[in-house]
Homo-oligomer: A and B are copies of this chain.
Amino acid sequence: MKRNLLLTPGPTQLPAPVCEALGRPIIHHRTPQFQAILKEAVDGLKHIFQTKNDVLILTSSGTGGMEAAVCNLLSPKDQAITVDGGKFGERWTELCQAYGVDAKVLKIKWGQAPTAAQIKQILDEEKNIKAVFVTLVETSTGVTTDIKAIGEVVKKTNAVLVVDAISGLGAVDLQTDNWGVDVVVAGSQKGLMLPPGLAFVSVSSKAWALMEKSTNPKYYFNLKEAKKAAEKTDTPFTPAIGIVIALNESIKLMKAAGLEKLFSHYARLAKGTRAAAQALGLSLLAEDSCISNAVTPINLPVGIDGEKLAKIMRDTHGITVAGGQDAVKGKIIRISHMGCLDEYDMLTGIACLEKVLHEMGHKFQLGAGVAAAQKFFNTK
């Protein structure tokens, strides 16, 4: 009888039509039937990526897509900019280092976002930067980066702008073409409301040109081969057929809602949750200027063990939120708004958070969080 509510930033709650599609008997991928599905998927992804660039489908987690970006764009000793201000920014640095790329790491405080001015300064100082790697929503801190402003800076240079949009694509705005983003990496299990298993990579002509020069070894993640196959509405290797089929169900739902409306929907869920946190006397890890609408990172009161809190919410109440990672492990919880969720799911999550915080000894007016969120949802 226990609830299974995922308020986690990946995997996210699946819509019923997605589950239904996943449960269908399988079809073969080298058929006109699957080709039509693949074409629909790529067209739909272009809409969600807001791009006319190529969008390639890889069978891997989002990290595989990130690796594809690094090993296809760069060569050993190339210079790149990465950001150290959260777990996923650090992954860009690790990937660069794995491939012998000289990463100029911009270190910022957890909870802050890298600014266009900071990126510009490094680009001005180092004249050979080939790529700038940033993160749309840094899930570990709930911070969102001003991609538009960074795009303005990077597009004036020879460097390509690469955005990890694994967390956030489909939930917060990312205007790939308008903002001059050369490579966007996304994953299936976040804003796209699918199980994990697929990564998506969009590639601009500026990025394709840079890829011509890369000497790093690559095979499974070779994007030029993926493009060649895509031109014949195919994939170089057997794709995760079931998830591609379910992707079209999810795209249908997202298109029916409309991207603008989806972004305001998630913004509304995020703001209601922030109102609840404030009413409970809890601050947020991310600064106001850069907090994302994809996930809300709530600082816990001193003395409350965040690992234990999340464990009780999950194991006793069936409501899963994310704990803190690395530097903030045990100190925060993260409530995600991405996925097939509405305001009642947020109220449920907040009610459960209140109950467990109360049991663990935090002093506050029980019900204040739900009331504040409800008030917000009833007026906005």
Contacts and interface: CB of A to CB of B under 8 A. Distances in A.
Interface of A: 4, 6, 8, 10-11, 13-14, 19-20, 22-29, 31-32, 59-64, 67, 71, 94-95, 98-100, 187, 189, 195-197, 216-222, 237-243, 314-315, 320
How many copies of the shown chain assemble into the complex? 2
Counting from the closest, the 7 A-B pairs by CB-CB distance are A23-B23, A197-B240, A195-B242, A61-B237, A98-B219, A196-B238, A63-B237
Given A8-B28, A26-B189, A195-B240, 11 more contacts: A22-B22, A22-B23, A23-B23, A28-B320, A59-B196, A59-B197, A71-B217, A94-B219, A195-B242, A196-B238, A196-B240
A98 B95 CA distance: 19
Contacts of A26: 6, 11, 13-14, 189, 195
Contacts of A100: 217
B197 A243 contact: yes
Contacts of A62: 237-238
B196 A22 contact: no
6 contacts: A29-B196, A59-B60, A64-B237, A67-B220, A98-B219, A189-B238
A286 B221 CA distance: 32
A7 to B, nearest CB: 10
Contacts of A219: 63, 67, 94-95, 98-99
A197 B217 CA distance: 23
A307 to B, nearest CB: 11
B67 A22 contact: no
Q: Which of A28, A242, A243 has the most CB of B within 10 A?
A: A242
Contacts of A99: 217, 219
A240 B238 CA distance: 15
Given A217-B100, A219-B95, A22 B64 contact: no
B241 A195 contact: yes
Nearest to A62: B238
B25 A4 contact: yes
A226 B20 CA distance: 31
Nearest to A99: B217
B23 A11 contact: no
A24 B19 contact: yes
Contacts of A98: 217-219, 222
A59 B188 CA distance: 13
A22 B64 CA distance: 22
B14 A28 contact: no
Given A217-B99, A217-B100, A242 B197 contact: yes
A278 to B, nearest CB: 27
Q: Which of A61, A62, A314 has the most CB of B within 10 A?
A: A61
